[in-house]
């Protein structure tokens, strides 16, 4: 069995980097068109404001804070995270992650698993229901990544995430193709 201590995203994709000073009153594109910031769930508004203003402090470089550590840094501002919650977000396991994925285990679902199992999150079952400020863990064939949704373009099947990623050397905004294995969760 392979021990996975920390999942690191692959680097075949080069995303765009942009930073926002604030997004209040700015339309945020998502899967159902354009959503005004004030119409998002209150907790999502708080998550977005927090990651925009503190993301670069939480994850100044990718080496110091990978994607999972950025999410933990944001989440601990809103809820108490147990050691088990943090390990679930980090996908700490002695088992083969790819076999777990094939068997639909909750373990590789990372932040989704941590927040739903601890009753701190609401499952988002449809891409159309995902909103900016939701958390996501996703997998391509050989690697996974996690972040906070900035926007979703269902027509192009892409999503922009606030995350920590090698191409941004820490906190930044990246665009990813939406894979079939994608788990969204909203913080309560």
Number of structural domains the chain divides into: 1
3-state class of 10 per DSSP? coil
CA angle 101, 106, 110 (to 5 degrees): 90
Inside any domain, residue 11: no
Residues of the chain with pLDDT > 70, as a percent, come to: 82
E strand residue ranges, 68-141: 121-124, 135-139
- Half-sphere exposure of residue 145: CA atoms within 13 angstroms, side-chain side: 25
Identify whether 22 is part of a domain: no
Domain presence at residue 15: no
Asked if residue 39 has pLDDT above 70, the reply is: yes
The pLDDT value recorded for residue 126 is 93
Q: Is residue 70 part of a domain?
A: yes
In a domain, 171, yes or no: yes
**Using N-to-C axis directions, what is the helix angle for 110-117 and 67-75, rounded to 10°?**
30
For residue 9, being part of any structural domain is answered with no
Question: Is there a domain that residue 138 lies in?
Answer: yes
Domain membership of residue 40 as a residue range: 29-187
Residue 151 in any domain: the answer is yes
pLDDT greater than 90 at residue 6: no
By the 8 A CB rule, do 149 and 48 touch? no
Q: What is the dihedral of CA 146, 94, 62, 82, to 10 degrees?
A: 70
């Amino acid at each position: 069995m392979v021990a996975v201590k920390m999942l690191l995203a692959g680097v075949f994709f080069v995303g765009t980097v942009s930073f926002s000073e604030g997004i209040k009153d700015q339309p945020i594109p998502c899967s159902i068109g354009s959503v005004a910031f004030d119409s998002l769930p209150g907790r999502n508004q708080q998550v977005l404001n927090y990651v925009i203003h503190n993301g670069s402090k939480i994850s100044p470089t990718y080496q110091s804070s990978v994607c999972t550590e950025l999410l933990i840094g944001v989440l601990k501002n809103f809820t108490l995270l147990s050691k088990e919650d943090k390990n679930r977000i980090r996908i700490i396991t002695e088992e083969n992650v790819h076999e777990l994925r094939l068997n639909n285990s909750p373990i590789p679902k990372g932040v989704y698993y941590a927040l739903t199992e601890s009753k701190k999150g609401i499952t988002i079952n449809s891409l159309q229901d995902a909103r900016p400020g939701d958390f996501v863990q996703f997998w391509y064939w050989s690697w996974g990544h996690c972040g906070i949704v900035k926007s979703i373009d269902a027509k192009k099947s892409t999503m922009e995430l606030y995350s920590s990623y090698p191409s941004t050397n820490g906190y930044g905004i990246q665009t990813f193709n939406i894979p079939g294995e994608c788990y969204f969760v909203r913080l309560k």
